[in-house]
Amino acid sequence: MSSLAEMLPALLVAVPILLAAVPIVLGLRFERTGWSVAALTTTALTAATVYLAAAVYETGRVVHVLGGWGETADRPQGVGIELVADEFSVLIALLVTVTAAGVLAYTRVGGPRGNTFYTGYLLLIGGLLGLSLTGDVFNMFVFLEIVGLATYAMIAAGDGPESAVAALKYLILGTMGASLYLIGVGFLFMATGALNMDVLGEAIPLVAEEGGSDLTLLRAAFAFIFIGFALKVAQWPLHTWQPDAYQHAPDGVTPVIAALVSTVSAYALGRIMYNVFGPEFLTATPYLTEIVVTVGCVSVLAGSTLAVIQRDVKRMFAYSSVAQFGLIVAAYGLVTQTAFVGAVIHLIGHGVIKAGLFVAAGVVALGYGARTVDGYAGLAEHRPYTAGSIAILLIALIGIPPSAGFIGKWYVAVGAVEAEVWPVAVVIFLSTMLTLAYSARLLEKMYFTPAIPVESPHSPGPVAADGGTDTGADDHDGATALGRDSFRRGSPDAVSIGMLGILVVIAVAAVLLGFAGGAFFEWLEPFTSEVFTE
Amino acid sequence: MTEVADPRPLAAVLVSALAMCLIIASYRYPNVRESWSVVAALAKFGIILSMLPGVMDGTVYEWSLADSLGVEFLAGIDFVLRADPLGLLFALLASFLWIFTSFYAAGYMRGLDEHAQTRFFASFAASLSTAIGIAFAGNLVTIFIFYELLSLVTYPLVAHNEDNEARIAGRKYLAYTFFGGGVFLLAGTVLVYWLTSSADPAGEAHLAFESGGIGMLAEAAQADPVFAQAAFYLLIAGFGVKAAVMPLHSWLADAMVAPTPVSGLLHAVAVVKSGAFGVARVILDVFGPGLIYDLPLSVPGVGEVGLNIPLAILAAFTLTAASIIALRKDHLKRRLAFSTTAQLSYIVLGLSMLHPLAILGALFHIPAHAFGKLTLFFCAGAVHVETHTDYVSEMAGIGKRMPLTMSAFAIGAAGMAGMPLIAGFVSKFYMLIGSGSVGGGYWLFATALIVSGILNIAYLWPVVYTAFFESEDRHDAKPLLEFPPGGKRESYFEDDAAVATDGGDRSDEKPESGQPQPADERDDETEAKGAGTPETVNDEDEPEYAVDKYPSDHTVPEDAETHDDHAEDHHDHGDHHHGGPPAGGWERHSPFTESTWLMIFPISVIATGAVTLGVIPDYAVFLDLAMYIVEGVFGVDSFNELHDLSLEEAMEVIDR
Amino acid sequence: MIEGTLDVLTTRYAYALMFVLMGIGIYMIIANENLVKKLIGVNLFQTAIFLFFVAVAYVEGGNAPIVPSDGSDPGLMASPLPHVIVLTAIVVGIALTAVGLALIVRIYAEYGTLREDTLREVRADE
């Protein structure tokens, strides 16, 4: 093990946070340095994460103890804060760095611009990496809040005042979530006297075996932590902040938030559930798995249903996220190895797909002037590459093989059947149809609804009846500047090659990941077998 | 049986996927674009044909992702394409028919000057690619992948017209097929995965098809019969959606809004047959007749019945009911669609009777029906392109205008009805013998087969009759179509005049180049008044019109829309009459001038094929292949060993 | 029953107070229409958690970490770890309040109101 690999976890967290100050400092002298700094940093971070992943692949988990407070003969483990890079966390860290670097291709031209934005961006990346790598439950709270702060600020960077309202809503609810998590940590600390995940993981089975009031504390701790994360991951009925936040955030910010923030929170939930509490505690506690699974399943159903009735495309995708994370939470609740692998794969797959979809929403808003589902009519004809990418991503989201969406769903489904939890299995199988319901709506608009309705004599009727909306909706949507030249709407020139390029790359990645089902399983094997054979 | 690693199954799948890319790339040059279709079709057929001798000698060509690239698709599951006899039967059929369909499609699309032709041809090529993928899929997950992709790439073809009717049909199509694939089939596959991996001592899943059934599944089924039965019905339901088994059939008739080559090759051959083929895979290669027979289902009040019986009853019901519905369809393509529903259930019924002869008949019915039905659809399409006539009631005397087309139609119709000397006879013959050999309660299925055969004549013969033996101005009434259910007291000669002037009348009323608005209004008015209250003699045709266009599952607004589109269609294409004969009656054409060679040539080839299969089935390769498959399933060396066995004896053979 | 309650109130009053504070905080967040007061509610909620951690920190017969023990029994001692946690959490809380207030200033500048119901009406009109 090279010493570099051991240093990397700390560097991955510290470097972006420190460099976050650079755009502001440079901004005093130069106008637009933010993007370059961010691009350099994220590229370096990506390279570092790949290196770390290679090290993990070769030698297993890499642990960095901050400040040299590692375990010694007279000092037990858990005094210093640990940063842990194992198969699970490195996978998420890779998703974070790669997505962060990729989305920059959009923001360069698509904005938001300004050095302060990139300060927030780097802060967010640092927080996310910290959240994925940390091995300490209190440290996790700090990173949760760093991520939250950066996210609130970036959402508020939107043009309209709406974004400030959305950000405040998110701030209040997000803080509540993090605070509830902190209470849970407090209970854990009361019960065990430890904060380190490894130490907790060893202590909790002992406490659980002993029973008594400490066990009650543990159960309360789990309840608080779960509800805290349910807020952060936007599970029904605690999802209300998410659609507003996603819709009103600047187009360049949504992909990062949608792909990473909830994803990493969901990762943290998985980490706490499986590394700290452990499968034994989860299955031994009465009603625990049932509740987790119910929350997930209800979110799948409610999220999809709400997505179908949305008019705004970004809002629709936001509700779709509620549903997809419901699938992940339900998979966590199944407590089988296969379902857990499925949840992890779906985390990654959904992150990639949603990043792509939100980048596409930005590209369409910029280059086609459309933000509503109805406004997407005729997109295929006038913007074939964008429409094609959206179509592929939607298909991947539905879970049609070979795609990232399918392999996740496959493992979750197998896990549900293995656990013989039939209601969950039914919901998972039906989730295809639910996702199809809103995806097909957009597909049909893009490909089979002409953009120029005046050509056809009875267009207003069919168009309105079809989408289930009145045509009045179209009026404040540049999309339907009814007229022969309506296909010239938006500003196609504003869409740079980089933006289209990243969109196509993400779409291709979503398909190629569909062939990695076996690879993911093998990669996670050391982690899962350790967790599940304890 | 020897297995050989060979990239040809993959090549057969990819060749049309490559063609799809080339088609999209050359969208500016229609001639180049269509020639890619033809080249790909020939190449595909060539590749598949090259595997035929080897497969007949007992070789199985296999390409697997794990062996060739080292990529594991899912943990414990490989992505495998293998050319075994059953897969080859379907692949050979689909690729052979694609050659002629690609000519025909070019003729059809150009004849109508359709929009979005690049998308059409690209999706068409992609459909063929996935259909061959289904044929060669080596395990349940691989077949699931292609099954889903097939639903996806045929969706643009169904919604091709981009009008409301097409969009609604497209939605229905997506909903049905993804419910079948994404829900039922996936659930069944996962169940089989779970059952086999928990039965296997090493914990490995067995999803690969094995002739005669997956061995590990049989073991698992002994331990967990309920889940095995659930898996069986889930898989059958998944494939049954595309095979249009009632009650999952209603997408098929609606999908007929697609251009005719699509209705022909995809919705009579590739797509729907992929459903029937999937059922064959499940019965023969996943569960195997032996296991299905040994896994009784206890029904309260009846006792234990075989797992296959409910399916057979459903299929028998479908083939009778669909034939009866077809009687009342005036729209020719819809009538053919219900005929397809019925004929597909023949295949399902034959397979689910489990007797070797019935299975042989069912397997041979796959090509037999394909040739016959494709002929019928091609003819319907040719009539549409040349005369814009879609309704049987408007076709009186059309034999003069399109002699060759309607003759081919007659051949196809005879094949559907199972007349000797045409392909359909051979398959139905074997199925009848099969159900007879089983005896017992199976006489019910034999009766259904015969009744449906008669019904086939009843709904297809009138088309031939009206085309050749009636004339535009004088023809019999069609009581089933024109009269309200339960009969009508009036004499029908009065109506007759109205029917005859049908087309001419309407085109007189609205100026050809003007807005179709007046016509629309008129239609809506009539629609609003309802079908039963005709006002004037002129409107006499309206109710009749409305009745025959009311399929049971349609709502009024949709039908209004159909009307409009129908009317508008002809405006768009600059055609100057509205279906039916032109003012002066049908022009007389010789067989060589009735249409373009792009359409006549495929029609004649396919019709000839149907006759060839009927006259010399032993020399046409399909029957041999089907026999070879059955031999493999029952594990015997020669089909003759199976000839005189009862079902019990046959099952003993399989258990040996 | 009453005795038990009294017992909790006299010996565990910090925990009781924590839940009271938390309840007040949540109530303010949910029921108060004024955005600033909502934020104060969030702060109150967090303060309750700080109190909780400080209350947890008293350990009977513990030893100070890091510094080697001299062997004598320190009796009731305060573990420094929860205090450190609370310090960190307070810093985080201040940062959150600052961002929240900044957002509220922006909202006030745009809509001219701090009340959520008015805000909802204004936004609905737009």
User: What's the pLDDT at A329?
Assistant: 93
How many angstroms separate the CA atoms of A156 and A145, rounded?
16
Q: What is the pLDDT of residues B623-653, one digit of tens each?
A: 888 888 888 887 777 777 777 777 777 777 7
Angle between helices B356-387 and B271-280 (to 10 degrees): 180
Burial class (CB in 10 A: 0-12, 13-18, 19+), B481: middle
| C–B contact: 3+ Cβ pairs < 8 A | no
Model ipTM?
0.89
DSSP count for chain B of H helices, then E strands: 30, 5
Residue of C nearest to A185 (CA): C53
Instruction: Tell me the three state secondary structure of residue A383.
Output: coil
Determine whether the interchain pair C46/A142 forms a contact, defined as Cβ–Cβ distance below 8 Å: no
User: What's the pLDDT at A36?
Assistant: 84
| CB of C98 less than 8 A from some CB of A | no
Asked if B495 and B477 touch (Cβ cutoff 8 Å), the reply is yes
Q: What is the pLDDT of residues B42-94, one digit of tens each?
A: 898 899 888 888 888 888 888 888 888 878 888 778 888 888 888 888 888 88
Of B145, B178, B183, Cβ closest to residue A402: B145
User: What's the pLDDT at B486?
Assistant: 60
Position B479 confidence tier, pLDDT thresholds 50, 70, 90: low
| C–A contact: 3+ Cβ pairs < 8 A | yes
Residue A165 Cα, gap to closest chain C Cα (Å): 7
Residues of chain A contacting residue C92, judged by C-beta atoms under 8 Å apart? 141-142, 145
pLDDT of B202 over the 90 cut: no
Determine whether the interchain pair B182/A429 forms a contact, defined as Cβ–Cβ distance below 8 Å: yes
Q: What is the DSSP string of A242-308?
A: HHHHHHHS-TTTHHHIIIIIHHHHHHHHHHIIIIIIHHHHHHHSTTHHHHHHHHHHHHHHHHHHHHH
Backbone φ, ψ for residue B62 (5° rounding)? -135, 140
Give the rounded percent of residues in chain C with a pLDDT score beyond 90: 24
C69 or B39: whose pLDDT is higher?
A: B39
Chains touching B, CB cut-off 8 Å, 3+ pairs: A
pLDDT of B31 over the 90 cut: no
- Report the alpha-carbon angle B576-B578-B579, nearest 5: 115
> CATH fold of C2-125, please?
Helix Hairpins (1.10.287)
Determine whether the interchain pair A457/B156 forms a contact, defined as Cβ–Cβ distance below 8 Å: no
Residue of C nearest to A152 (CA): C99
Q: What is the pLDDT of residues B400-456, one digit of tens each?
A: 788 888 888 888 888 888 778 887 888 888 888 888 777 767 778 888 888 888 888
Residue B238 Cα, gap to closest chain A Cα (Å): 12
Tokens of B2: 């020897």
Element spanning A264, H or E = helix A262-271
pLDDT of B150 over the 50 cut: yes
User: What's the pLDDT at C40?
Assistant: 92
Asked if B123 and B156 touch (Cβ cutoff 8 Å), the reply is yes
Residue C43 Cα, gap to closest chain A Cα (Å): 10
Overall average pLDDT of the C37-65 stretch: 83
Tokens of B70: 């080292």
User: What's the pLDDT at A482?
Assistant: 42
**Where do runs of H (alpha helix) occur along chain C?**
2-11, 13-31, 35-56, 80-111, 116-125
Q: What is the pLDDT of residues B276-320, one digit of tens each?
A: 899 988 888 888 887 887 777 777 766 677 788 888 888 888 888
Overall average pLDDT of the B149-177 stretch: 86
Rg of chain C (C-alpha set): 21
Residue of A nearest to C113 (CA): A165
A-C CB pairs within 8 A amount to 75
Determine whether the interchain pair C39/A195 forms a contact, defined as Cβ–Cβ distance below 8 Å: no
Paired strand residues for B74? B77
A-B CB pairs within 8 A amount to 111
User: What's the pLDDT at C63?
Assistant: 64
CB atoms within 10 A of CB B21: 13
What are the extents of the domains in chain B?
Answer: 473-580
Determine whether the interchain pair C85/A138 forms a contact, defined as Cβ–Cβ distance below 8 Å: yes
User: What's the pLDDT at B320?
Assistant: 87
pLDDT of C4 over the 80 cut: no
Residue ranges for chain A with pLDDT beneath 70 = 1-2, 73-74, 452-492, 534
How many angstroms separate the CA atoms of A369 and B310, rounded?
55
User: What's the pLDDT at B603?
Assistant: 83
Which 8-state DSSP code applies to residue B80? E
Rg of chain B (C-alpha set): 25
Determine whether the interchain pair B186/A432 forms a contact, defined as Cβ–Cβ distance below 8 Å: yes
Q: What is the pLDDT of residues B343-363, one digit of tens each?
A: 888 888 888 888 888 888 888
Most confident of A99-108, A122-131, B365-374, B501-510: A122-131
Determine whether the interchain pair C103/A172 forms a contact, defined as Cβ–Cβ distance below 8 Å: no
Residues of chain C contacting residue A164, judged by C-beta atoms under 8 Å apart? 103, 106-107, 110
Which 8-state DSSP code applies to residue B587? P
| CB of C89 less than 8 A from some CB of A | yes
Residue of A nearest to B24 (CA): A384
Least confident piece of the model among A332-346, A466-480, B12-26, B202-216:
A466-480
Overall average pLDDT of the B591-597 stretch: 73
Q: What is the DSSP string of B269-308?
A: IIHHHHHHHHHHIIIIIIIHHHHHHHS-EEETTTEEE-TH
User: What's the pLDDT at A484?
Assistant: 40
Which 8-state DSSP code applies to residue B263? I
| CB of A407 less than 8 A from some CB of B | yes
Residue of C nearest to A181 (CA): C49
Residue of B nearest to A516 (CA): B73
Amino acid at C100: G
Determine whether the interchain pair A168/C42 forms a contact, defined as Cβ–Cβ distance below 8 Å: no
Determine whether the interchain pair B182/A402 forms a contact, defined as Cβ–Cβ distance below 8 Å: no
Residue of B nearest to A524 (CA): B75
